[in-house]
């Protein structure tokens, strides 16, 4: 179905704007992705928005036409609105903007096939959605299976995380779990070799370079300010440390995950 919306008070505009807030995303089970490149990447990964939103006055673009055709064929909605309204939805003053509404994916540990990839990223209590999105993007690049969110993390379906993921939110598996659920799942799977849990750590750690990474390798990074709780580190099968030659004693969480992930990739091949 194709509709044109003209008023700020239109319920669809309100619905779209509400998806910028976590509580509304969770209540609806939906999230927003923005930009033609991101929506096209999603389409290539087999994800179509159930609602496609674009400016009434816009330049034609073959990728946008393709999106529109597919969304309509799949029974989705295509919504046109003025540039002023669209700016309210996307928070951007860009009349070429396009946005899509997607259904959130399943996020349980049970759905993960740990044998499908050598590397998995695990974030514990990460608060910055940009870091989560960047970790998804890095995960895609190293061929990771997905991102597991432990304890209270930012929302990987927030607009900021989806944008930073550069489409990897559509290609990486995402699971959420408490630590108390994650550990038994990890230890119980794969006929006794559920996976190797690796933490970047300053305590009792070996050099990250050429460390004995083993697949499936779960790379765990902790909260931006506090790092990993000590008892979480103690549970890890391997603690590795990266050179820190300056004043600081830690890296940005997404950077640490990436340096570790590329090292694990080099070792695991």
3-state secondary structure of 38: helix
Q: Does 262 bind a second copy (CB under 8 A)?
A: yes
Nearer to a second copy, 183 or 268 (CB): 268
* Interface with a second copy, residue 169, by CB under 8 A: no
| CB-CB contact of 220 with 228 (8 Å) | yes
Query: Please, which residue, 52 or 144, has the CB nearer to a second copy?
Result: 144
Give least dist CB 187 to a second copy, A. Answer: 27
Q: How far is the CB of 266 from a second copy (least distance, A)?
A: 6
Question: Where are any strands of DSSP class E within 19-145?
Answer: 30-34, 51-55, 77-81, 98-103, 119-124
For the packed helices 11-18 and 83-90, what is the interaxial angle rounded to 10 degrees?
A: 30
Burial state string for 172-187 with b = 16 or more CB within 10 A and e = fewer than 16: bbbbbbeeeebbebbe
C-alpha to C-alpha distance for 142 and 17, rounded to whole angstroms: 34
Q: Are 201 and 236 in contact (CB under 8 A)?
A: yes
User: 125 vs 10, 21, 63, 179, 217, CA distance in Å?
Assistant: 37, 19, 37, 10, 20
**Least gap, CB of 139 to a second copy (angstroms):** 8
Q: Is 138 in the site for a second copy (CB under 8 A)?
A: yes
- Applying CB under 8 A, which part among 19-27, 75-83, 99-107, 260-268 lies near a second copy? 260-268
CA 235, distance to chain mean position in Å, is 25
**179 versus 262: smaller Cβ distance to a second copy:** 262
The 148-167 site mask, x for binding a second copy (CB under 8 A), equals ----------------x-xx
Is 23 or 247 the residue whose CB approaches a second copy more closely?
247
* 267 near a second copy (CB under 8 A): no
Each residue 196-215 as x (binds a second copy by CB under 8 A) or -, in order, gives -------------x------
- One character per residue 39-78, x = contact with a second copy (rule: CB under 8 A): --x--xx---------------------------------
Sign (positive or negative) of CA dihedral 125, 254, 186, 169: positive
What residues make contact with a second copy under the rule CB under 8 A?
41, 44-45, 130, 134, 137-143, 164, 166-168, 171, 209, 242-248, 250-252, 254-255, 258-259, 262-263, 265-266
């Amino acid at each position: 179905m194709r509709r044109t919306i003209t008023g700020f008070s239109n319920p669809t505009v309100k619905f779209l704007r509400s998806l910028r807030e976590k509580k509304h995303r969770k209540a609806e089970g939906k999230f927003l992705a923005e930009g033609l490149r991101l929506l096209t990447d999603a389409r290539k990964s087999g994800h179509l928005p159930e609602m496609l939103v674009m400016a009434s006055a816009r330049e034609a673009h073959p990728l946008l036409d393709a999106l529109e055709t597919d969304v309509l064929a799949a029974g989705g909605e295509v919504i046109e609105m003025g540039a002023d309204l669209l700016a309210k939805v996307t928070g951007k003053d860009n009349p070429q903007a396009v946005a899509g509404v997607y259904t959130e994916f399943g996020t349980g540990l049970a759905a993960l096939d740990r044998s499908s990839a050598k590397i998995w990223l695990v974030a514990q209590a990460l608060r910055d959605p940009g870091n989560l999105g960047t970790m998804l993007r890095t995960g895609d690049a190293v061929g990771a299976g997905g991102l597991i969110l432990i304890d209270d993390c930012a929302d990987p379906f927030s607009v900021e995380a989806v944008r930073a993921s550069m489409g990897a939110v559509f290609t990486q598996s995402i699971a959420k779990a408490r630590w108390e659920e994650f550990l038994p799942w990890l230890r119980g799977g794969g006929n006794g070799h559920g996976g190797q849990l690796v933490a970047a750590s300053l305590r009792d750690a070996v050099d990250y370079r050429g460390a004995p990474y083993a697949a499936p390798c779960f790379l765990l990074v902790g909260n931006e300010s506090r790092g990993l709780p000590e008892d979480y580190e103690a549970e890890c099968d391997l603690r590795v440390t990266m050179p820190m030659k300056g004043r600081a004693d830690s890296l940005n969480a997404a950077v640490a995950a990436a340096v570790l992930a590329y090292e694990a990739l080099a070792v695991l091949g």
